[in-house]
Chain A
Amino acid sequence: KAGVTQTPRYLIKTRGQQVTLSCSPISGHRSVSWYQQTPGQGLQFLFEYFSETQRNKGNFPGRFSGRQFSNSRSEMNVSTLELGDSALYLCASSLEATYNEQFFGPGTRLTVL
């Protein structure tokens, strides 16, 4: 089975631009979660989608948004990029939302100049 894939792997943007990151979960997985990883703030939860509905949301400004498609693929969007948005963005998928293990993707490294 293919693992969680994230595209692109690396991205460079400038302040004020917007960006869209993509995550394809493991086949059959319906839950997709997003995390931001920075040296200063560590790993922080952004949001979780399950069956195309946002189920949980972390403490991030409205510039961060996401969605999930009927095939469970998910995208996250960051508008009006700031320097502080530079981070590794990790996606994780799981079968359901109970006891199942979450599988992480390799991440997208976003650099904002």
Chain B
Amino acid sequence: AQTVTQSQPEMSVQEAETVTLSCTYDTSESDYYLFWYKQPPSRQMILVIRQEAYKQQNATENRFSVNFQKAAKSFSLKISDSQLGDAAMYFCAYRRWNAGNMLTFGGGTRLMVKP
């Protein structure tokens, strides 16, 4: 079974600074997807960024980028120019390549942004 681990329960960052959230996972499969989801205090989960395991290039979405290290099974999220609206729970998630929409989530990291 796949497992996803987020070792930082809480992180804080100063507004406009950069922060990196860590995620490691365990799988025996070679093809899969990885995701970062954001859950603001209102509770509605939204997708931040995704990465296909076969792609060597790291995904980027505006101020969000990932550092995907397949051999090390590491998938960190970097948030640049942090904004107050970035404060939320962030979940790393894994999905098998061709097995429907079942997501395996990490325990989450609570990100606080200081003005």
Residues of A near any B CB (own CB < 8 A)? 31, 33, 35, 42-45, 48, 50, 55-56, 58, 88, 90, 92, 94, 97-99, 101-102, 104-107
Main secondary structure of the interface of A (DSSP, over half): strand
Q: Which residue of A58, A88, A99, A105 is within 8 Å of B102 (Cβ)?
A: A58
| A-B Cβ contacts below 8 A, count | 54
Chain A residues, CB < 8 A from B37: 104
Chain B residues, CB < 8 A from A56: 99-102
Chain B residues, CB < 8 A from A105: 44
B103 interface contact, C-beta 8 A: yes
Chain A min CB distance to B41 (Å): 12
Chain B residues, CB < 8 A from A44: 105
Contact across chains for B102 and A33 when beta carbons are under 8 A apart: yes
Contact across chains for A106 and B43 when beta carbons are under 8 A apart: yes
